[in-house]
Amino acid sequence: MAGLEVLYHLVQAGISCSQDAVVVLTHWEMIKHGLRCLGSGDQSSSDDRKSELLPAGWNDNKEVYTLRYRGDDGSHAHVLKAITVDSSLLFNLMNTTTQQVSELTVVIADHINEDQLHSFDRVYKDSQALSEQVRRHLVSPEERGGGGGGRRKDKKTKTEQEEQRDDHDPLRIPTRHPRAGTHPHWSDPMGPPFAAGGADLDPLGMRGGGGMIVDPLRSGYPRAPSGIPDILPPGAVPPGARFDPFGPVGRHRPGPDPDHLPPPGYDDMYM
């Protein structure tokens, strides 16, 4: 905590309450992060000078503390306000250029020994913990790049910005080409669960199915070279030809045809 003890001793005579001690540590954290104090109050004046010290009259108002800061390089002005509410201090730090605001609430009794205000070794219960709260919740969210020792987060690349915008554009037409490293999961239109009705899509049976066109060579007859038994002689059918049969398949069935038997009493003239 180098520097805080020196600063505290410089203003120790004017410290009269616990919130004064909290403001001193907060001011020191601002200075450590590259800001310089211009003065107290909301309005700037011709007497403003950048300094690491607290200005005269910094704690005249115990209800509302107001301090102005500017980056050591001259950019990014900030206004720090600390408002006393019951037993707490509500901090508000605004970047007057970007209007960005960060906030912090400090419970005074958790960090200050009120009966030890004039002893730096005992006034802070845990100066490291309080300093960490100020840095994490009040100073760091500002990311004041040109205004102090902090750094701004890297901006997204143009490609990342375009991809993010495209993903949220409801009118964007998706690309027809899959991105590198990805493969579309397309199902086989002739396979399950689309196999039903497959013959309609493949009438000639080119994919291994039966197809829609009746093939006499697959109708149950024994295969004969270039012909159909009992229907066409050998050589009448070109090899591999497909066509509808000339008659019903299986018309020469073995055994008697039940339709050939006369009905009972067929010779009765009165029937």
Give 113-142 pLDDT, tens digit per residue.
999 999 999 999 999 999 999 999 998 875
79 pairs with which residues across the strands? 68, 94
Domains and CATH numbers, the chain: 4-145 (3.40.1000.30)
Please say if the pLDDT value at position 157 is more than 60.
Answer: no
Contacts of 266 (CB under 8 A, 6+ apart): none
- Whole-angstrom distance, CA of residue 177 vs CA of residue 59: 67
- Whole-angstrom distance, CA of residue 17 vs CA of residue 12: 11
SS3 69: strand
Per-residue pLDDT, averaged over 50-58, amounts to 93
What pLDDT band is residue 252 in, cutting at 50, 70 and 90?
low
pLDDT on residue 1: 64
Residue 103 identity: E
Per-residue pLDDT, averaged over 163-180, amounts to 61
132-150 residues labelled b (16+ CB within 10 A) or e (exposed) = ebbbebbbebbbbeebbeb
Per-residue pLDDT, averaged over 187-199, amounts to 59
Q: Residues 172, 166: contact at Cβ < 8 Å?
A: yes
| pTM score, whole prediction | 0.54
pLDDT on residue 72: 80
Ordered strands of the 88-95 beta sheet: 35-40, 64-71, 77-85, 88-95, 101-107
What pLDDT band is residue 154 in, cutting at 50, 70 and 90?
very low
- Pick from 45-54, 95-104, 105-114 the range whose average pLDDT is largest: 105-114
User: What CA dihedral angle connects 152, 169, 173 and 155, to 10 degrees?
Assistant: 0
